[in-house]
Structure 1
Amino acid sequence: MGELVERVDEQDQVLGVVDRAEAIRKGWLHRIATIVCLDEDGRFLVHRRPDDSSRFPGQYNWMLGGAADVGESYEQAAARELSEELGVHAAPRFVLKFLCKGAISPYWLGLHEVVIRAPVRPSVQEVAWHDWLTRPELEALVRQQEFVPDAREAFDRYGNLSRANRPLC
């Protein structure tokens, strides 16, 4: 068996433990934790996925993240993914959660944010290129075809919160 995740329902309640590949294949809901990284100047970390990545190869994203492990909270998963993908140890702050229809399969997306104050050491398995972009630069990139499709919906939802005068980080 491969990577195990918790299968959840439309209210994000656990139904059982399943193989993630099976959850994707059968369209079963599971949990994904993502992190939006900002620097001290408010710029967003944007990265391009490796060309040999199994999901969205060569595409750009403004979030890092992955599936929550069995028994792991969204916040714990976000902190683990941040460490694995950027080599940064921090406690990302929960921002929002929504049911994402997903380009590959549906899932619950828990979005977090963190201000990065140390150098990042991206994992070459997850990040082929990265840079810090201003909000206008990111807004232009999000609408391009080479951007991970699920990240567009998350960006729109995140932007709606920030326009409602929610303090970022």
Structure 2
Amino acid sequence: MLSSLVPDVFASNPVQQPKEQVQIVDENNQPIGSASRKDMREQQLLHRCSFVITRNSQEQVLVQKRVHFKEIYPSFYDPAPGGVVGAGESYEKSAAREIEEEMGISGVSLVRCFEFLYRDKMAQHFGGVFSCVYDGPLRLDPQEVESAEWWDLQDVKKLLQDGPVSPDSKIAFERYLKDCCGGS
């Protein structure tokens, strides 16, 4: 159970939105109800997350560093930012909402890439992965993102090897490179 693995960040940091309703799914990724974000984390309920791989016209990748008070993977780098899918929300709406909230990116065309199942001691979710191209300014949410920078692909690949990188985003990005970019 998650509550024995991490401190109760919800008690000390209400920014993590413990009452937010999250889409809960079954083993076939079919919606079966909703739960609060806090209950989802504490009971490690299977849910959905969206991920967005953002590249600019120079083929650089947007990599964010998560804030130190995130409930899971704090201070880790993230080459595929996104977040938890809300109750009744589609992967697409979640992806668009998350990159706008966290990075200030809006009005981009999101390309759906694939879905994957992720499980570790901290979380279990189905991830919906999207990509987009963006060359505009960033507006970071200081409650979610410590920093964000454009990285060359070779540097992102080194980050994936050396970390610290959010493990679910690592899997999403590696599969993106293999399946959507011809292994580049």
TM-score calculated relative to the size of structure 1? 0.90
SS in 1 for 2:112: strand
- State the match for 2:104 in structure 1: 87
Distance 1:72 1:91, change over 3 A: farther
Cα distance, 1:165 vs structure 2: 7.2
Cα distance, 1:52 vs structure 2: 2.6
Aligned length: 166
- State the match for 1:97 in structure 2: 115
Structure 1 residues 55-64 or 107-116, which shifts more?
55-64
Q: Does 1:160 align with 2:183?
A: no
Q: Does 1:138 align with 2:156?
A: yes
Q: Does 1:65 align with 2:78?
A: no
RMSD over equivalenced CA pairs, Å: 1.8
Unaligned runs of 5+ in 1: none
- State the match for 1:42 in structure 2: 59
Give the counterpart letter for 1:14 in structure 2: P
SS in 2 for 1:113: strand
For residue 146 of structure 2, the aligned residue among 123, 128, 140 is: 128
Distance 1:139 1:103, change over 3 A: farther
- State the match for 1:112 in structure 2: 130
After superposition, what is the alpha-carbon deviation per residue over 1:46-73, rounded to whole angstroms, capped at 9, x for unaligned?
Answer: 1111223332221111011111111111
Structure 1 residues 112-121 or 100-109, which shifts more?
100-109
Distance 1:46 1:154, change over 3 A: same
SS in 2 for 1:77: helix
After superposition, what is the alpha-carbon deviation per residue over 1:133-152, rounded to whole angstroms, capped at 9, x for unaligned?
Answer: 11111000111232112222
TM-score calculated relative to the size of structure 2? 0.83
Cα distance, 1:103 vs structure 2: 4.6
Distance 1:102 1:92, change over 3 A: farther
Structure 1 residues 48-57 or 133-142, which shifts more?
48-57
| Distance in structure 2 (CA, Å) of the matches to 1:30 and 1:38 | 27
Unaligned runs of 5+ in 2: 1-17
